[in-house]
Homo-oligomer: A and B are copies of this chain.
Amino acid sequence: MSLISEPIASFSPLYEQIKAMILASLQASEWLPGDAIPSEMELAARYAVSQGTVRKAIDELAAQNLLIRRQGKGTFVATHQEEDFQYRFLRLEPDSGEKLHLKNQFLACENIPSDPYIARLLKIKPGDSIIRIDRIQSSAGRPIAFEEIWLPEARFKGLNLEMLNAWPGPMYAFYESEYATHMVRAEEKIKAVLAGSDLAKYLQISEGAALLSVERVAFTYGNKPVEIRHARYDTNGQHYDNKLN
């Protein structure tokens, strides 16, 4: 593979061009999640700019959680395998403030044609094949969340129930190691809804109880949407935690 070392956009500050080139290398899997990228000096040489300029580019990518700096060791591509990133997108926490430990139970994993709604969110054509997964998450033996997940089949070929059941960690670590797909950011829309009979059964609560509905679109490099999730949380004993800055 040829190294990416020529500007991509026509004009902007140098460090923006460097950012774009580093991003392109990430997207092209030149460096994989967990890997160290070349040192600042090496990148400065490669792009023919000063170390300070590379530094500013890396600083901004690190601020977006795409890279992780480790003094004395190097700069690494962010990965959901790491301790700190394991539950990076999980905002649910017990009212007590402790850390939530969730256990998975997968109910279904089927291959279906996409309806127009999911297709629009995933930016694929209606009718294109997608994978739909259902799961229940429990904390201390109590079911807390019911989730439906939709994935474009083209990217997640062969994904099935056995693989999911065999995987010990978080979903996003699974996508990364099995499908070379690293999630970079996500958007959520939150509502309050009433439990119907199905949800009541899954979550062992009474019909008509209030549930938190969270619809998430998750994106990989290049703002590409690659996962839709619709979660329903029982917020009795836990809540969705958010910081506003």
Copies of this chain, count? 2
A89 x B244 contact (CB < 8 A): yes
Using Cβ atoms and an 8 Å threshold, which residues of chain B touch A187? 241-244
B185 x A239 contact (CB < 8 A): no
A193 to chain B, nearest CB (A): 5
A186 interface residue (CB < 8 Å to B): yes
A188 interface residue (CB < 8 Å to B): yes
A103 to chain B, nearest CB (A): 22
A159 interface residue (CB < 8 Å to B): no
Using Cβ atoms and an 8 Å threshold, which residues of chain B touch A91? 242, 244
Q: How large is the interface on A (under 10, 10 to 19, 20 to 34, 35 or more residues)?
A: 20 to 34
Bound CA span A95–B65, Å: 29
Bound CA span A138–B137, Å: 36
User: Which of A185, A241, A245 has its CB near the most chain B CB atoms (within 10 A)?
Assistant: A245
B239 x A191 contact (CB < 8 A): yes
Bound CA span A149–B199, Å: 34
A238 to chain B, nearest CB (A): 9
A240: which of B63, B186, B189 is its contact (CB, 8 Å)? B189
Using Cβ atoms and an 8 Å threshold, which residues of chain B touch A213? 192
Residues of A within 8 A of B (CB): 63-65, 88-89, 91, 95, 185-194, 208-213, 216, 233, 235, 239-245
